[in-house]
Amino acid sequence: YNLQPLLLNLLRDRLVPELWNLLSRASEQAEKRGWHLYLVGGAVRDLLIAGKQESRAAGKQLTLPPPPLPPPPLYLQDIDLVVDGFHRSADVGAGVELAKALQTIYPEARLDVHGSFQTAALLWHKDEVLGSLWVDIATARTEFYPYPAANPEVEASSIRQDLYRRDFTINALAVRLTPPHTGELLDFFGGLIDIEQQQIRVLHANSFIEDPTRIYRAVRFAVRLGFEIEPQTEGYIRYAIASGIYDRSLLENSKAPALQTRLKAELKYILQATYWASALQLLASLEALKCLHPTLELNEQLWKQIRLLDRWLRRFDQGKSLVHWQMRLEVLIAHLAEEYRGKVAENLQLPMDSIQRLQHLAHAHNQVVEFLSANRLKSEIVQLLRQYELRTLILIAIQSKRFIRRTIWEYLTILANIQSPLSGNDLKQLGYQPGKQYKQILDKLLAATLDGYVTNNFDAQAFLAERFPVK
Ligand code: CTP
């Protein structure tokens, strides 16, 4: 059936008018130069999925009352455009030129040019009408991989090849924005059927070998869209992992840091999403956690720890100082044998404090568990635990037995907040000479308070009179 009018209507109806205008301007500029312009990638996928849901809803309206409000416009933050310059070498920089032409029409947008990839981006930051918008404009290209998992090298090519280098069929769809055939859907690889059948499918068998981070992307899209990973694609994933592709790519490839950066970005994306738990389970069932370390397995114990972490994060997330996705990642890494932790954290380019926390975790863990396993006074507990950062304590707690965990919880929720009933000022008023001994007196007083000997001001003064008589 003819999708052309459907797609144009979808675009016009679902985009805010200013965004629709922007696409029209871009198309005019491309047409003027004899180029074709396409909308590609996530925007097309999301438009078609939205369109499908709407037509389903419309079908149901026969029995249901009409919806009270029209559907909200699709909120797109990322727009990917591809210019096809017909292989003329002079048109290699078409994407960049188009972006520059658009910037003269929209001077408020920021222009970023990435020369080596012949792409440019126009950025609107919190614009009144467009919000925060990122428009990538690329020149149609094919990615030529000189060796597995390398960064793409670029050569001018046609739209079909440009789409062929992409990860999944549902992301390899394009809508033509320039005439003739404006609104035509380019679907060379069966993306529309896969949207219909709700499946994630790669375009060729080597996809995961070329770029192992696509394994994580497959999981992310599957969980986020509620799609299945198509069986053959799953086979390719399992094959790539079993062949140790990720480690091989790191060893053979001088661009290992870039690969790690992309893996970290995918991990962040997944671990901060609302669907992180299902995604993690799917990654584990595909054995994809082995990309982090060959020994990493999501066993029952690790699963329990990561669920526990959620409770601790909810309780102790004051001031948003805890970065949830990173803590989740730290729990995964902390599950590895002690000697691997630092290295894995370093490879993933985690922040220095995180690397160090993981390097020293085993030592801290042993110290805390050994100390708390004996019968201790509250004041002793506080003295020990206050040496550690909240994040370290959380990691120790979730790896420990219930008794230790409860003690750390009690420390964080109650003991750490208890204060000495008297302050330095009070000591001064009571006639103590200001000086170094203040800290010592107040520490003792706090310990007595924690251990229950002192419960109020009166007790405190009696305690001082007995232990530290004013000279
Ligand atoms: N892409 C790819 N392989 C990757 C990363 C990206 O083929 N490892 C391609 C996909 O075709 C994708 C496009 O680049 O559609 C843009 O990537 P990205 O912005 O990460 O994904 P979107 O599909 O736009 O998804 P999202 O909605 O999550 O932004």
Q: Is the pLDDT score of 172 beyond 60?
A: yes
The three-state DSSP-derived secondary structure of 343-389 is HHHHHCCCCHHHHHHHHHHHHHHHHHHHHHHCCCCHHHHHHHHCCCC
Q: Is the pLDDT score of 75 beyond 70?
A: no
136 ligand 1 Cβ < 6 A? no
- Site to probe by mutation for ligand 1, drawn from 47, 166, 208 as the one with most ligand atoms within 8 Å of Cβ, is 166
ipTM entry = 0.94
Residues 202-234 as b or e (16 or more Cβ within 10 Å = b): bbeeebbbbbbbbbbbbbbbbbebebebbeebb
Domain with CATH 1.10.3090.10 in the chain: 292-417
Give mean pLDDT, residues 350-363: 96
DSSP letter (8 states) at residue 214 = H
- Site to probe by mutation for ligand 1, drawn from 40, 80, 207 as the one with most ligand atoms within 8 Å of Cβ, is 80
Q: What is the pLDDT of residue 84?
A: 86
Nearest-CA residue for atom 23 of ligand 1: 42
Q: 3-state class of 3 per DSSP?
A: coil
User: To the nearest whole number, what is the mean pLDDT of the chain?
Assistant: 87
Q: What is the pLDDT of residue 156?
A: 38
- Site to probe by mutation for ligand 1, drawn from 141, 171, 216, 219 as the one with most ligand atoms within 8 Å of Cβ, is 171
Domain with CATH 3.30.460.10 in the chain: 4-197
Q: What is the pLDDT of residue 252?
A: 62
Q: 3-state class of 132 per DSSP?
A: strand
Residues 6+ apart with CB under 8 A from 390: 316, 321, 322, 412
Q: What is the pLDDT of residue 251?
A: 66
State the distance from the centre of ligand 1 to the C-alpha of 153, rounded, in angstroms. Answer: 17
143 ligand 1 Cβ < 6 A? no
pLDDT tens digit sequence for 190-200: 999 999 999 99
Q: Of 151, 173, 178, 130, which is closest to residue 31 (Cα–Cα)?
A: 178
Q: Report which ligand 1 atom has the smallest distance to the Cα of 167.
A: 7
Domain with CATH 1.10.110.30 in the chain: 200-258+267-291
Comparing 142 with 268, the larger pLDDT belongs to 268
152 ligand 1 Cβ < 6 A? no
Contact 256, 249 (CB under 8 A): yes
> What is each CA distance from 140 to 11, 25, 46, 156, 229, in whole angstroms?
22, 19, 21, 6, 28
pLDDT-derived band at 58 (thresholds 50, 70, 90) equals low
Q: What is the CATH number of domain 200-258+267-291?
A: 1.10.110.30
pLDDT-derived band at 317 (thresholds 50, 70, 90) equals confident
CA–CA separation, 58 and 253 (whole Å): 51
pLDDT-derived band at 65 (thresholds 50, 70, 90) equals very low
At residue 50, what is the residue type? Answer: A
391 ligand 1 Cβ < 6 A? no
pLDDT-derived band at 66 (thresholds 50, 70, 90) equals very low
Q: Report which ligand 1 atom has the smallest distance to the Cα of 43.
A: 24
Write down the residue that tokens 């110290």 correspond to. Answer: 367
Q: What is the pLDDT of residue 125?
A: 84
State the distance from the centre of ligand 1 to the C-alpha of 354, rounded, in angstroms. Answer: 28
Query: Selecting from 3.40.720.10, 1.10.3090.10, 3.30.470.10, 3.40.50.360, what CATH number does the domain 292-417 have?
Result: 1.10.3090.10
Contact 24, 68 (CB under 8 A): no
Q: Report which ligand 1 atom has the smallest distance to the Cα of 166.
A: 7
207 ligand 1 Cβ < 6 A? no
At residue 54, what is the residue type? Answer: E
Nearest-CA residue for atom 13 of ligand 1: 41
Q: Of 205, 201, 265, 190, which is closest to residue 227 (Cα–Cα)?
A: 201
Comparing 69 with 417, the larger pLDDT belongs to 417
End-to-end Cα distance, the chain: 98
78 ligand 1 Cβ < 6 A? yes
171 ligand 1 Cβ < 6 A? yes
Q: What is the pLDDT of residue 303?
A: 97
Comparing 57 with 166, the larger pLDDT belongs to 166
State the distance from the centre of ligand 1 to the C-alpha of 159, rounded, in angstroms. Answer: 16
CA–CA separation, 278 and 226 (whole Å): 11
Per the omega criterion (within 30 degrees of 0), is the bond before 180 cis? yes
Q: What is the pLDDT of residue 120?
A: 93
Comparing 69 with 169, the larger pLDDT belongs to 169
Q: Is the pLDDT score of 145 beyond 50?
A: no
pLDDT tens digit sequence for 5-20: 778 887 888 787 888 8
Q: What is the pLDDT of residue 73?
A: 55
Q: What is the CATH number of domain 4-197?
A: 3.30.460.10
Q: Residue 398 is inside which H or E element, if any?
A: helix 390-398
Q: What is the pLDDT of residue 76?
A: 65
Write down the residue that tokens 């661009």 correspond to. Answer: 255
pLDDT tens digit sequence for 238-259: 999 998 877 776 766 667 788 8
- Site to probe by mutation for ligand 1, drawn from 45, 77, 78 as the one with most ligand atoms within 8 Å of Cβ, is 78
Answer left, alpha or beta for residue 435, where phi above 0 means left and psi between -120 and 50 means alpha. left
Q: Is the pLDDT score of 64 beyond 70?
A: no
